[in-house]
């Protein structure tokens, strides 16, 4: 069983081989998602002896419904793919050969450098890994420099995800005083605590990272809010025709009318100072298709809510300690909904 990345092509294959004296006239691919058969794909007239391929990722991803999880549960789908060759066209006749695979699908992606059919956690040799951007030259036991490190305000609890060497996953919830989280064996993820500034504890952004799990990324410094209005307009006829006398108009009745007025709220956040190791975290935030912002509830500022947002930045200039000394990022987020409720 593989933990496959559904934002990449995922190919399943079977050889259209002759069985006895019978050549296959069709190949079928049946895709079962969470115990329900969803798709049956057919390819007729395969070249005898050829390797017939089916890309299942986009079809399966339609059934991976990502929503915000308050306890940071990992959202996946169970996939069974059965490929068969058949003696007749359209997947009929006798079954000549069959191959079956079972996978777990993640809202994850591998890069071009990581090759075809990538699987989480994107390493060539199976080993236990925290599902966050690693420092590959760091130490897995948490000694400096640590392989895995995350950044949280002092006193704030959080979550970190983990995958064992056998591919099973776990979610660890650490308290507000923790400075490390243990994994399998001697593995540790270090938790760097950041003290409050004049901006408070900062603003938390939650996103689905490269590994397909929710991750927090804190912006510790300045925030700037903005509202952008859009509308349409037309010129109205405001002439009044009295029963007697000349035509006139009321100067309080404007001839230039507005309609379809709407607005979008956005916020610009400054990260504060991060080490160079954190560059990939900001890259993964930029690449994420699921992002939420934590903010106080308007009617109850002591409580927080999480709202979906869109990263407005289309690029990011990576900073290094050599070039920039102190590394910080400023990113803009726009609410993923209109300010005036128009849900119908």
* pLDDT tens by residue, 81-104: 999 999 999 999 999 999 999 999
Q: What is the pLDDT of residue 318?
A: 86
pLDDT over 90 for what percent of the chain?
90
Q: For 41-65, how does the pLDDT look when each residue is reduced to its tens digit (9 = 90+)?
A: 999 999 999 999 999 999 999 999 9
pLDDT over 70 for what percent of the chain?
100
The confidence band for 20, taking pLDDT boundaries of 50, 70 and 90, is: very high
* Mean pLDDT of the 219-229 span: 95
Q: Is the pLDDT of residue 127 over 90?
A: no
Q: What is the pLDDT of residue 8?
A: 98
The confidence band for 126, taking pLDDT boundaries of 50, 70 and 90, is: confident
Q: For 286-344, how does the pLDDT look when each residue is reduced to its tens digit (9 = 90+)?
A: 999 999 999 999 999 999 999 999 999 999 888 887 787 678 999 999 999 999 999 98
Domain extents for the chain? 2-114, 124-195, 196-344
The confidence band for 184, taking pLDDT boundaries of 50, 70 and 90, is: confident
| CATH architecture, domain defined by 2-114 | Sandwich (2.60)
* Mean pLDDT of the 149-174 span: 96
Q: What is the pLDDT of residue 260?
A: 95
Q: For 189-219, how does the pLDDT look when each residue is reduced to its tens digit (9 = 90+)?
A: 999 999 988 889 999 999 999 999 999 999 9
Q: What is the pLDDT of residue 123?
A: 87
Q: Is the pLDDT of residue 125 over 80?
A: no
Q: What is the pLDDT of residue 18?
A: 96
Q: For 130-160, how does the pLDDT look when each residue is reduced to its tens digit (9 = 90+)?
A: 999 999 999 999 999 999 999 999 999 999 9
Q: What is the pLDDT of residue 317?
A: 87
In this chain, the answer to whether the domains covering 2-114 and 196-344 adopt an identical fold is no
Residue 204 near residue 272 (C-beta atoms within 8 A): no
Average pLDDT, the chain: 95
Q: What is the pLDDT of residue 4?
A: 97
Domain 196-344: assigned CATH number: 2.30.110
Q: What is the pLDDT of residue 208?
A: 98
At 14, list the tokens.
């079977």
């Amino acid at each position: 069983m593989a933990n496959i990345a559904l934002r990449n092509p995922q190919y399943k294959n079977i050889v259209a081989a002759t069985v006895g004296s019978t050549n296959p006239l069709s190949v079928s691919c049946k895709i079962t998602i969470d115990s329900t058969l969803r798709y049956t794909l057919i390819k007729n007239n395969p070249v005898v002896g050829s390797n017939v391929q089916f890309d299942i990722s986009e079809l399966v991803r339609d059934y991976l419904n990502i929503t915000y999880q308050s306890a940071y549960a990992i959202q996946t789908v169970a996939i069974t793919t059965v490929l068969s060759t058949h003696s007749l066209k359209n997947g009929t006749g006798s079954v000549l050969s069959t191959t079956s695979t079972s996978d777990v699908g993640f809202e994850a992606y591998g890069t071009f450098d990581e090759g075809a059919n990538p699987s989480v956690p994107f390493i060539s040799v199976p080993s236990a890994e925290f599902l966050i951007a690693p420092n590959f030259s760091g130490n897995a036991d948490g000694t400096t420099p640590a392989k895995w490190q995350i950044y949280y305000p002092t006193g704030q609890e959080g979550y970190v995800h983990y995958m064992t060497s056998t591919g099973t996953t776990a979610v660890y919830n650490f308290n507000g005083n923790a400075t490390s989280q243990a994994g399998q064996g001697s593995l540790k993820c270090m938790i760097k605590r950041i003290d409050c500034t004049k901006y408070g504890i900062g603003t938390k952004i939650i996103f689905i990272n490269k590994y397909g799990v929710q991750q927090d990324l804190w912006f510790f410094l300045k925030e700037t809010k903005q509202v952008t209005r859009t509308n349409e307009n037309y010129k109205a006829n405001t002439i009044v025709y009295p029963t007697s006398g000349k035509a006139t108009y009321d100067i309080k009745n404007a001839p230039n009318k507005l309609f379809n007025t709407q607005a979008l709220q956005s916020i610009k956040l400054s990260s504060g100072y991060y080490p160079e190791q954190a560059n990939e975290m900001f890259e993964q935030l930029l690449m994420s298709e699921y992002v939420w912002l934590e903010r106080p509830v308007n009617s109850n500022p002591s409580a927080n809510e999480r709202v979906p947002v869109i990263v407005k930045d289309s690029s990011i200039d990576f900073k290094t300690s050599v070039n920039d000394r102190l590394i910080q990022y400023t990113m803009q987020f726009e609410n993923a909904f209109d300010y005036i409720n128009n849900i119908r």
